[in-house]
Amino acid sequence: MKAVDYLKKRTRFAVPLLLLSLSPPLLGDEALLAEGARVFDEVAGVGCKTCHGEYAEGDLGVGPYIRGATEGAIRAAIDATPEMVVVKNAITADEISAISAYVSYLGTMQVARTLAKRGRFIPSQISIRPGTSVQLVIQNSGIRPYTFRSDNMGVDDLTIAPRSSGSIEWQTPETEGEHSLYCMDCKLKNQFYTLHVDSGADEFRATTPAASATAEDSM
Ligand code: HEC
């Protein structure tokens, strides 16, 4: 499950009813992130994701990588980017704040992306530094939902709908080692996506360390 979906679910129960009646709404960090994710996916009927990619990576070749973009940068882009006029006409100030929180949060995590095809992973491995926050994105290219499991990462099973993606948030351990996950119900068995925790790997620099601290405090 995408962590944000998890947040969305949790938030429904976590926000006391009392808060809902207060104005302006006092949204906790989790609720704010969940709202930001919703707006990112849906604003103006297109969402930021249509151009910037589902995980704000700029992988679609339309809008650039915006993980970690500040609220100021987002406001400036909304004001000045002709392609974004549809968003400009629809988005509210509260939605911009929520999206900024969400995009900042994404900026604290390195993306590791793999494509799952009949149980095979493309690419099949990645090296990441110890102590790094990772958002592991798995694209299910199949026509059936598949469930992914790890026996050594300490994460929940993730079921991904056909032709879509899901993500797992994971903190690499402080010690070097090998971790992996696999598809439980795919045709090919014994295929792994391997995460090498390796101090020789390229360093990931979180774009917004301040936001990172806030996000971690609230988790
Ligand atoms: C219809 C496509 C489209 C949509 C929808 C869209 N953007 Fe953009 N966005 C772009 C393009 C194209 C650029 C690059 C403009 C340029 O470089 O001149 C951009 C630039 C940006 C930038 C500046 C990035 C940089 O490094 O300069 C930010 C920040 C941004 N967009 C945030 C958002 C957010 C947040 C949303 C949703 C609320 C959104 N965009 C929705 C197309 C889009």
Domain co-membership, 119 together with 158:
yes
* 216 within some domain: no
pLDDT at 43 (0 to 100) = 97
Q: Which residues line ligand 1 (CB under 6 A)?
A: 43, 46, 48, 50-52, 62-64, 66, 69, 73-74, 77, 81, 83-84, 87, 91, 99
Work out which ligand 1 atom sits closest to the CA atom of 69. Answer: 29
Pick from 46, 206, 214: nearest CA to 110: 206
Cα 157 to ligand 1 centroid, rounded to whole Å: 33
Interatomic CA distance for residues 214 and 148, integer angstroms: 29
* 146 within some domain: yes
Report the domain count for the chain.
2
pLDDT at 208 (0 to 100) = 54
Domain co-membership, 115 together with 72:
no
Domain co-membership, 46 together with 101:
yes
Q: Going by DSSP bridges, is the β-strand pair 177-183/146-149 parallel, antiparallel, or unpaired?
A: antiparallel
Domain co-membership, 130 together with 158:
yes
Domain co-membership, 138 together with 78:
no
Tokens 């009646």 map to which residue?
A: 21
Mutation to probe ligand 1, out of 51, 57, 75, 99 (largest number of atoms < 8 A from CB): 51
pLDDT less than 70: residues of the chain: 1-27, 208-219
* 218 within some domain: no
pLDDT at 44 (0 to 100) = 96
Cα 1 to ligand 1 centroid, rounded to whole Å: 26
* 212 within some domain: no
Work out which ligand 1 atom sits closest to the CA atom of 39. Answer: 38
Sequence-distant (≥ 6) Cβ neighbours of residue 149 within 8 angstroms: 157, 158, 181, 182, 184
Q: Whose CA is nearest to atom 41 of ligand 1?
A: 48
- Residue range(s) defining the domain that contains residue 135: 110-197
Cα 136 to ligand 1 centroid, rounded to whole Å: 23
* 203 within some domain: no
Tokens of 218: 């609230």
Domain co-membership, 188 together with 134:
yes
* 187 within some domain: yes
Domain co-membership, 38 together with 126:
no
Domain co-membership, 52 together with 89:
yes
Domain co-membership, 69 together with 115:
no
pLDDT at 211 (0 to 100) = 41
* 205 within some domain: no
CATH of the domain at 144: 2.60.40.420
Q: Whose CA is nearest to atom 22 of ligand 1?
A: 77
Domain co-membership, 134 together with 174:
yes
HEC profile of the chain: CCHHHHHHHHHHHHCCHHHHHCCCCCCCHHHHHHHHHHHHHHHHHCCCHHHHCCCCCCCCCCCCCCCCCCHHHHHHHHHHCHHHHHHHCCCCHHHHHHHHHHHHHHCCCEEEEEEEECCEEECCEEEECCCCEEEEEEEECCCCCEEEECCCCCCCCEEECCCEEEEEEEECCCCCEEEEEEECCCCCCCCCEEEEECCCCCCCCCCCHHHHHHHHHHC
pTM over 0.85: no
pLDDT at 27 (0 to 100) = 65
pLDDT at 98 (0 to 100) = 97
* 208 within some domain: no
Work out which ligand 1 atom sits closest to the CA atom of 43. Answer: 38
Domain co-membership, 102 together with 117:
no
Q: What distances in angstroms separate CA 161 from CA 24, 152, 186, one per listed residue?
A: 37, 23, 13
Domain co-membership, 153 together with 171:
yes
Tokens 């696999």 map to which residue?
A: 182
pLDDT at 206 (0 to 100) = 87
Work out which ligand 1 atom sits closest to the CA atom of 100. Answer: 35
CATH of the domain at 91: 1.10.760
